[in-house]
Structure 1
Amino acid sequence: MNRKKWLMILAILVVVIAFWSSGAHDYLTLESLKAHQQSLDAWIAGNVWLAVGGYMLVYILVTALSLPGATIMTLAGGAFFGNLYGLAAVSVASTIGASIAFLVARFLARDSLREKYAATVARMDRGIAKDGAFYLATLRLVPVFPFFLINIAMGLTGMKLRTYALVSWIAMLPGTFVYVNAGTQLAQIESTGDIVSADLLLSFALLGLFPLIAKFVVGFIRRRRVYAGWRKPESFDYNLLVIGGGSAGLVSAYIAAAVKAKVALIEKHKMGGDCLNTGCVPSKALIRSAKAADTLRHADRYGLEAVPVKGSFKTIMDRVQKVIAKVEPHDSPERYRKLGVECISGEASFVSPWELEVKHSDGRTERLTARSIVVATGGKPAMPPIPGLKEMEPLNSDNLWSLDTQPERLLVLGGGPIGSELAHAFARLGSQVVQVEMGDRLLAREDSDVSELVKNRFEQDGIDVRLGHAAREFVIEDGEKVVYCEHRGERVRIVFDQVLVAVGRAANTDGLHLDRIGVETLPNGTVPVDEDMSVRYPNVFACGDVAGPYQFTHAAAHQAWYAAVNGLFGQFKRFNVDYRVMPWVTFTSPEVARVGLSEAEAKDQGLAYEVTRYGLDDLDRAIAESDDHGFIKVLTPPGKDKILGAVVVGTHAGEILAEFTLAMKHGLGLNKILGTIHPYPTWNESAKFAAGEWKRAHAPQGVLKLLEKLHGWRRGKDTNVSRSAYAPD
């Protein structure tokens, strides 16, 4: 940061400190306004232009420095200058002040952002150039966000100053008038009778109704604007069309059918999506086989004779396919047709916000219309652009399940949930596994103590965990597959038979032709959605992996409810998606389950918190099953039992977590968990014992000391008078 920027920051700090230390903020209150009203009125009467000029200078200063008091000053403009002069003074001063704040933010931070996030800033600037003026106008019209934040945020974009000033001035006029008009009525309050005057009640009614009216008007204009150039069909084939038969699509279609809407679900491959065919179901089946192998190999833990594990990998994979086949009827077209969903096998693409072109599996093409459309096309494994990787014919979470020969030496790229789950499963089944992660720990979204425990268990089970290793090149040398990694500036050579790539997922949007309706995907490939899950148009929605930000089956189902309900009833009432309590589980051994904040996230957000820990090595059921390892960690505000977040690391962690998730969802604290009867001996007792640890740490020590003295006195102990003094002669 150059000298000029530092000087500007210093100057701003000096003015802000002077503002607070001098007590100037005390004058920018409603009480102060009323207290000095008569004296100020008298002075202004003889110095009108000087008063207006001074008022505007103060208003500009307050707005430019984002100081509190702009609302009171707007009311004061009406109280002292009336509607005409007050509106003129406030609108000009607020626009000048906002423009200065805009320029200051741009001068101080815009260049730094451009250097660090060049691609993001460029994309943001393109959006601002296209829709920035309208977006700014909606923010100014509907005062949801504080105006000073809008000034700063817009200064970081590429919006032109003249556009910003003009749009701000015009869009703020209606709101400014409402506040100035309210100020004129405040100036007229002389007695309690004035409070119920018609003019005053109308002014306050306008003050309260303005945001609602503005929101309605903005919504109407936005709908007209976004649909400009499109011709809406006079009638529709369906109430809802759903693209994709995975978890999000199935739930969306199910909800629509349940409320008797006409709905069609279009799937080009297999119903059930990734979860059934290549994700949750097959991976958990494989993990269970791996756990059985580990149990046999370590049967001596349970007083039995350990036996070498023998079996055909093909037989294991056949079992995985049988599990898929057994679950498949739950997601089958036959079941959903019985529920009232029309299932179409084909590929869909957008023609308009209400119309899809569907290419059926038999080659037929037709166009279908619907009042609302839900995009639920899921995701696919991401493939990093590493030289030579494609030539290795890499495995991923999609094609892995066609494997019938177990790799003797398996290289796993990625230390996230998918990579960790599959690395551990293959290691337990007997493969020599090397897991390469370019970060400094496994499961980077979890706290470091969680990652360390999982890493230690992996190494005990024979996994060669390589942290801080970045794969740079894949080659074949002397008939062997080799990857070269960079680690602390050194080149590391690793030999393998097959490589499994698990470095994340990308959204499935190919073939949808979203560009036809003006929708651009985000840098991570997902479709941009609003809080109601809509995509640009109020009748087009997206949910599941294609929308993000969570790539879990249960998150997709959660989003699907909002997409379907808003798609069917959004003209009457819309619901914003709620992510406040989102649990997830990584099915390694030990399992890692979390809901709410981690310690790292709490620190990043600047939240004060306490940590309560309970070791599962103390739990009777865990000891009885020789699974006495892991812990529970709960975050709470200092001195309070409200749960901010919880993580469980250990056997059955996913099931244990459910109690904390329920408590967080319904606002129950640790005291409620502690007061709940848990059957003995169960794994869920651990939740109660964790709550007990919190209670023990917050026991009222002063009261306990008094009780100790009371009980001692009642026993005749710890008193200054000997017991013999009360004994009969």
Structure 2
Amino acid sequence: ERYRALGVDCINGRARITSPYSVEVDGRTLTTRSIIVATGGSPFVPPIEGIEKTGYLTSDTVWQVRELPKRLVVLGGGPIGSELSQAFARLGSQVTQVEMLPRILMREDPEVTALVSEQFKTDGINVLTAHQARRCELNDGQKVLVCDSGGEEVRLEFDELLVAVGRKSVTDSCGLEELGIDTTAAGTVKVNEYMQTKFPNIFACGDVAGPYQFTHVAAHQAWYATVNALLGGLWRVRADYSVIPWATFTDPEVARVGLNEQEAKEQNIPHEITTFPLADLDRAIAESETRGLVKVLTRPGKDRILGATIVGEHAGDLITEFVTAMRNGLGLNKVLGTIHIYPTLAEANKFAAGNWKRAHTSARTLRWIKRYLSWQRG
């Protein structure tokens, strides 16, 4: 209804690209100068033996559940698996989260994962890391997930199994293969910096194009694809991925933009780390939400921001200040010089910048100020 109100002709049906200039929708052929492929993604379900017999849920089908599962096993320790594990635990399910890697939220720094894991323990979630799912069994109506952990077999009984190990692009049955449109090793449609495929008038955006599978990035790409599709004859704009933020909506929330510490080390990028604990923030204390921190990476001796991670209440909102700063080339000195309302959670960003400033005030300057103040006292 919203798009129709904007003047868009919306057609419901199964579409298939039949040529670079035509699309067939349930037998009806539409001709066009440009085509944008935005077929999105779908949950990836690993080929685990017996999983079809026991049945499983995904992040797409879990919303159809009408009865709370007593025992829920969540396969996957990434953002989606972690969010849904905590949600069902707080609704009253007995939740076991299974992750093959050494810790959940593996892309984040260890202390970030530790804060979330500690809360999961409080919520009663049984987090099993370094556990590899091997097979599912159905015996006399009893469902079991069999895992391997250090060479030992671990059997987990469940009422429902939620698979959350990632998503894949939807590229089949829409005519891309017949046209010979290339895909990447990750299975996404291969596009250039203008969101064009091998056919300059066929564009792709969102999860089907990657490389970031976030709704806000899909919207970002859609703007570039649409402008280039409509106005490519006049000018073209390159998609800009220089500053990509994201958030994991657990409690506490985890939000990040740019590099974190483990990525900087892996890429041998020189950096300094500045942190500010939310336990020292008045608003966090007043709301009893002191779990968390602000962690900022900067160039050595410089205030240029390489990345920031925030863990805590409304982290997904608070990270925007660092996104804006990085996007516009503003350093921590500018953040520090900006007035923040008291008492708010946003002050944490300013206090983190203040910690950086104190660490970079030279001893010589401090000695000079001390002498000056002593002289004033006589």
Bucket of the pairwise TM-score, normalised by the shorter protein: over 0.9
In the other structure, the counterpart of 2:278 is 616
In the other structure, the counterpart of 2:24 is 357
Q: Identity rate of aligned residues, in percent?
A: 58
In the other structure, the counterpart of 2:368 is 706
In the other structure, the counterpart of 2:106 is 444
In the other structure, the counterpart of 1:522 is 184
Whole-angstrom CA distance in 2 between matches of 1:491 and 1:535:
47
Opposite residue 573 of structure 1, the aligned amino acid is: W
Contact kept? 2:53, 2:138, Cα under 8 Å = no
Q: How does 1:455-466 map to 2 (within 5 A)?
A: 455-466=117-128
Whole-angstrom CA distance in 1 between matches of 2:344 and 2:146:
48
Contact kept? 1:646, 1:660, Cα under 8 Å = yes
Q: What secondary structure, in the 3-state scheme, does the structure 1 residue paired with 2:9 have?
A: strand
- Report deviation, 1:529: 1.1
- Report deviation, 1:510: 2.4
Higher relative contact order (CA 8 A, sep 6+): 2
Q: Does 1:683 align with 2:350?
A: no
Q: What secondary structure, in the 3-state scheme, does the structure 2 residue paired with 1:346 have?
A: coil
Q: How does 1:171-570 map to 2 (within 5 A)?
A: 334-359=1-26, 365-570=27-232
Contact kept? 2:283, 2:343, Cα under 8 Å = yes
Q: How does 1:143-154 map to 2 (within 5 A)?
A: none
Q: Deviations over 1:473-503 (max 9, x none)?
A: 1002353111110111111111111100001
Whole-angstrom CA distance in 2 between matches of 1:474 and 1:427:
22
Q: Deviations over 1:173-230 (max 9, x none)?
A: xxxxxxxxxxxxxxxxxxxxxxxxxxxxxxxxxxxxxxxxxxxxxxxxxxxxxxxxxx
In the other structure, the counterpart of 1:8 is none
Opposite residue 600 of structure 1, the aligned amino acid is: Q
Contact kept? 1:352, 1:516, Cα under 8 Å = no
Whole-angstrom CA distance in 1 between matches of 2:114 and 2:271:
22
Q: Does 1:583 align with 2:245?
A: yes
Whole-angstrom CA distance in 1 between matches of 2:8 and 2:346:
39
Instruction: Give the alignment partner of residue 298 of structure 2, picking from 625, 632, 636.
Output: 636
Opposite residue 352 of structure 1, the aligned amino acid is: S
In the other structure, the counterpart of 1:202 is none
Q: How does 1:602-613 map to 2 (within 5 A)?
A: 602-613=264-275
- Report deviation, 1:519: 1.3
Of the structure 1 ranges 516-525 and 654-663, higher mean CA displacement relative to structure 2 is found in: 516-525
Q: What secondary structure, in the 3-state scheme, does the structure 2 residue paired with 1:475 have?
A: strand
Whole-angstrom CA distance in 2 between matches of 1:529 and 1:463:
41
Q: How does 1:35-114 map to 2 (within 5 A)?
A: none
- Report deviation, 1:335: 2.0
- Report deviation, 1:572: 2.9
Q: What secondary structure, in the 3-state scheme, does the structure 2 residue paired with 1:342 have?
A: coil
Q: What secondary structure, in the 3-state scheme, does the structure 2 residue paired with 1:567 have?
A: helix
Whole-angstrom CA distance in 1 between matches of 2:183 and 2:200:
17
Contact kept? 1:635, 1:645, Cα under 8 Å = yes
In the other structure, the counterpart of 1:597 is 259
- Report deviation, 1:350: 1.4
- Report deviation, 1:604: 2.3
- Report deviation, 1:548: 0.7
- Report deviation, 1:664: 0.8
In the other structure, the counterpart of 2:312 is 650
- Report deviation, 1:712: 1.0
In the other structure, the counterpart of 1:258 is none
Whole-angstrom CA distance in 2 between matches of 1:462 and 1:670:
39
Whole-angstrom CA distance in 2 between matches of 1:535 and 1:633:
38
Q: Deviations over 1:20-70 (max 9, x none)?
A: xxxxxxxxxxxxxxxxxxxxxxxxxxxxxxxxxxxxxxxxxxxxxxxxxxx
Opposite residue 382 of structure 1, the aligned amino acid is: F
Whole-angstrom CA distance in 2 between matches of 1:705 and 1:493:
65
Question: Structure 1 regions of 5+ residues with no counterpart?
Answer: 1-333, 360-364, 717-729
Opposite residue 708 of structure 1, the aligned amino acid is: K
Opposite residue 603 of structure 1, the aligned amino acid is: K
Whole-angstrom CA distance in 1 between matches of 2:366 and 2:77:
48
- Report deviation, 1:634: 0.2
Structure 1 or 2: more strand by fraction = 2
Q: How does 1:98-137 map to 2 (within 5 A)?
A: none
Q: Deviations over 1:220-254 (max 9, x none)?
A: xxxxxxxxxxxxxxxxxxxxxxxxxxxxxxxxxxx
In the other structure, the counterpart of 1:306 is none
Whole-angstrom CA distance in 1 between matches of 2:108 and 2:195:
27
Whole-angstrom CA distance in 2 between matches of 1:388 and 1:485:
13
Q: Deviations over 1:617-647 (max 9, x none)?
A: 1100000011111101000000111111000
CA-atom RMSD in angstroms: 1.1
- Report deviation, 1:516: 2.1
Whole-angstrom CA distance in 2 between matches of 1:367 and 1:477:
51
In the other structure, the counterpart of 2:332 is 670
Contact kept? 2:115, 2:291, Cα under 8 Å = no
Q: Deviations over 1:356-398 (max 9, x none)?
A: 1111xxxxx2211111100001111111000011112201111
In the other structure, the counterpart of 1:101 is none
Contact kept? 2:207, 2:218, Cα under 8 Å = yes
Whole-angstrom CA distance in 2 between matches of 1:479 and 1:352:
50
Q: Which has the larger radius of gyration?
A: 1
Whole-angstrom CA distance in 1 between matches of 2:367 and 2:139:
74
Q: Deviations over 1:292-324 (max 9, x none)?
A: xxxxxxxxxxxxxxxxxxxxxxxxxxxxxxxxx
Whole-angstrom CA distance in 2 between matches of 1:468 and 1:572:
54
Whole-angstrom CA distance in 2 between matches of 1:559 and 1:490:
46
- Report deviation, 1:659: 0.7
Q: Deviations over 1:644-702 (max 9, x none)?
A: 10000011111111111111111111111111111111110111111101011111220
Opposite residue 21 of structure 2, the aligned amino acid is: W
Q: What secondary structure, in the 3-state scheme, does the structure 1 residue paired with 2:221 have?
A: helix
Opposite residue 570 of structure 1, the aligned amino acid is: G
Contact kept? 2:182, 2:197, Cα under 8 Å = no
Whole-angstrom CA distance in 2 between matches of 1:513 and 1:519:
9
Whole-angstrom CA distance in 1 between matches of 2:178 and 2:233:
24
Whole-angstrom CA distance in 2 between matches of 1:533 and 1:600:
30
- Report deviation, 1:596: 0.7
Contact kept? 2:42, 2:169, Cα under 8 Å = yes
Contact kept? 1:468, 1:487, Cα under 8 Å = yes
Contact kept? 2:182, 2:198, Cα under 8 Å = no
